[in-house]
Amino acid sequence: MRRVIDNFVELAERISSFTFKSSETLRTQNSGCHHVTVFLRPTFFKEETDQYSSSITVILPNPTGSAIEISKYATKALKMIFKEGYLYKKIRSSAFIFCSGDEKNCKLI
């Protein structure tokens, strides 16, 4: 069972882990992403606590498969939606709008 998280630093570490794994996949496919979406979800089973969930999509300036770049933008996205005082059960990031390594234009896959 996953534990709840209530601080930004730990959530940012988790987002970095997810984005590093995603970027490995992108690089093995010789691809890059142009959008990153970050999702925050509370623990719905603790009714006595306030509930807050949110998501945001950030458009990267250039398609990339770089773990550092994707993580940087995912963390910026997290900063935009994170609110102190809530217990979060799930945090996820998704990278999408994929491009092959030699394409300048991206297409939704």
1/68 Cα distance (integer angstroms): 29
pLDDT tens profile 83-101: 888 888 777 777 665 565 5
Higher pLDDT, 72 or 101: 72
pLDDT tens profile 23-68: 888 888 888 888 888 988 877 666 666 777 888 999 888 888 888 9
Give 67: exposed, middle or buried? Use CB within 10 Å, 0-12, 13-18, 19+: middle
Q: Coil, strand, or helix at residue 38?
A: strand
Q: Does residue 19 contact residue 71 with C-beta atoms inside 8 Å?
A: yes
Higher pLDDT, 32 or 82: 82
Question: Confidence band (pLDDT; 50, 70, 90) for 1?
Answer: very low
Global model pTM greater than 0.85: no
Q: Does residue 58 contact residue 20 with C-beta atoms inside 8 Å?
A: no
